[in-house]
Amino acid sequence: PNPALIEVPGLVGLSGGPLPLVSQVGSSIDKKFAYCLPPYSNKNNSMGQLKFELTSKQ
């Protein structure tokens, strides 16, 4: 099958340009964002995490 046509649960851009998720929602989450992704070499179907903070922790 064509990899470009395979359905996936979601796709998120994480670069620093104008289109990625962080750039689009940054102002509404006070630019507090973190992600943790498993190594590409991990073949165990591990999942990563996305975290958004709406308020700063002091």
How confident is the model over 2-29, as pLDDT tens digits? Answer: 666 666 666 666 666 767 776 777 777 7
Q: How far apart are CA 33 and CA 15, in angstroms?
A: 13
Please count the structural domains in the chain: 1
Residue of higher predicted confidence among 54 and 30: 30
Handedness of CA 30, 36, 15, 45 (dihedral sign): negative
Q: Is the pTM of this model over 0.75?
A: no
In a domain, 13, yes or no: no
pLDDT at 58: 47
In the structure encoding, which two tokens stand for residue 43, read together?
């073949």
- Could you give the maximum distance between any two Cα atoms of the chain, in Å? 50
pLDDT at 48: 73
**How far is residue 57 from each of residues 20, 26, 32, 33, 36, measured CA to CA in Å?**
25, 17, 10, 13, 19
Domain carrying residue 40: 29-58
Residue 35: per-residue pLDDT? 72
